[in-house]
Amino acid sequence: MSMAVKNLKDFLARADRFAVVEVAATKGSTPREAGAAMLVSPTATHGTIGGGQLEYMSIDKARQMLKSGFEGEAVHGTTLDIPLGPEIGQCCGGRVEVSIRPGTSAVASAQVERAEAEEGALPHLYILGGGHVGKAMAAACALMPVHAVVVETRADELEGVAPGVETRLTPMPEEVVRAAPAGSAFAVLTHDHALDFLIVAEALKRGDATYVGMIGSKTKKATFRSWFLKTAGGTEAEFSRLVSPIGGEAVKDKRPAVIAALAAAEIMTALALHAAPVGHAAR
């Protein structure tokens, strides 16, 4: 179970009642798109419609309605028309219609079903290597909309991986690459350069991989290229898809957390460019 699904279930388990706050329509520049939604209980929230005064005003209204039991005309909900200008201390310049309606057991079930369906449709990111950078990347990706999997040949290196990230212990990580779903991303950063080369070769030979990255230097990349073309039967077209070093070279900081953050942003960009839109409406 991903952290997103777990957090939703925890929220619903604690909330004796809740409201659904949803962006119904937008005009101009707005922090979130129509369909973005959040759940509001008397003491907690789940999700976001963009933050700032827009969100604070919507939460306040939702809690007022929860306190009154959605009485009178608001029994089926209400709509706020909020300009995102100096009137509320925001400078987006657009306008947002926010619907607020009571949550029900049916809505709660639908929310969980939808979250689980979205989880099942998430793109897969395989972090091949659970060392310092691998663990940092797992932590960076734990809250991102990906199904992250740390793959290791050493059992002790799977200890301490961030909660919500799947782990797999295998003597042959290249087999995990072969079995990965279409559109997967692969970040290769094991403790062994020869193993890195085998894994990257398998990933590059998959024409459907969204991202293939390898940690290392220009020298390592050049060495891999020579081996890949002369020994592994690879092509220049396949090699051209390799991202190495991961995270780019603009920031000269080799601390694991920094490399992980830069690589995570790089991977999310690649996945976003290939992703189909995902709806956000609460139903």
pLDDT number for residue 9? 95
pLDDT band at 74 (very low <50, low <70, confident <90, very high): low
Give the domain-ending residue among 117, 133, 168.
117
- Does the pLDDT of residue 280 top 70, yes or no? no
Final residue of a domain: which of 72, 92, 117? 117
H helical segments located in 121-235: 132-141, 173-179, 193-204, 218-230
Q: Which domain holds residue 258?
A: 122-274
Q: Which residue has the higher pLDDT, 231 or 280?
A: 231
Amino acid at 158: L
β strands within the chain, DSSP E: 19-27, 37-40, 45-47, 78-83, 95-102, 124-128, 147-152, 166-169, 185-188, 211-214, 242-243
Phi, psi angle pair for 96, to nearest 5°: -130, 130
Residue range 12-69, pLDDT digits in tens: 999 999 999 999 999 998 899 999 999 999 999 999 999 888 999 999 999 999 998 8
Residue 156, domain CATH: 3.40.50.720
17 and 96 share one domain = yes
Shared domain for 112 and 126, answered yes or no, is no
Domain stop point among 74, 100, 117:
117
The set of residues, in sequence order, having a beta carbon less than 8 Å from that of 73 and lying 6+ positions away, is none
Say whether both 137 and 239 belong to one domain. yes
| Confidence tier at 1 by pLDDT (50, 70, 90) | low
Mean pLDDT, to the nearest integer, of 138-160?
A: 94
Q: Which pLDDT band holds residue 84 (cuts at 50, 70, 90)? A: confident
Instruction: Please tell me whether residues 139 and 113 are part of one structural domain.
Output: no
Q: What is the pLDDT of residues 214-260, one digit of tens each?
A: 999 999 999 999 999 999 999 999 999 999 999 988 888 899 999 99
Indicate whether 9 and 106 sit together in one domain.
yes
Task: Examine the domain organization and report whether 190 and 239 are in the same domain.
Answer: yes
Residues 94 and 160 in one domain: no
Question: Mean pLDDT across the chain, nearest whole number?
Answer: 91
Residue 14 belongs to a domain: yes
Higher pLDDT, 93 or 146: 146
Residue 232 within a domain: yes
Q: Would the pLDDT of 282 be above 60? A: no
281 within domain boundaries: no
- Higher local confidence (pLDDT), 63 or 84: 63
My answer on whether 126 and 231 are in the same domain is: yes
The confidence score (pLDDT) of residue 70 equals 79
Query: Which of the two residues, 124 and 77, has the higher pLDDT score?
Result: 124
pLDDT of residue 75: 67
Structural domain includes residue 280: no
Question: Could you tell me if 107 and 132 lie in one domain?
Answer: no
Considering the domain architecture, whether residues 158 and 42 belong to the same structural domain is answered as no
Residue 279 lies in a domain: no
Count of structural domains, the chain: 2
- Tokens linked to 194: 């020869």
Residue 137 lies in a domain: yes
The pair of structure tokens assigned to 216 is 């290392």
Check whether residue 8 and residue 111 sit in a common domain. Answer: yes
Q: Decide the pairing of beta strands 147-152 and 166-169.
A: parallel
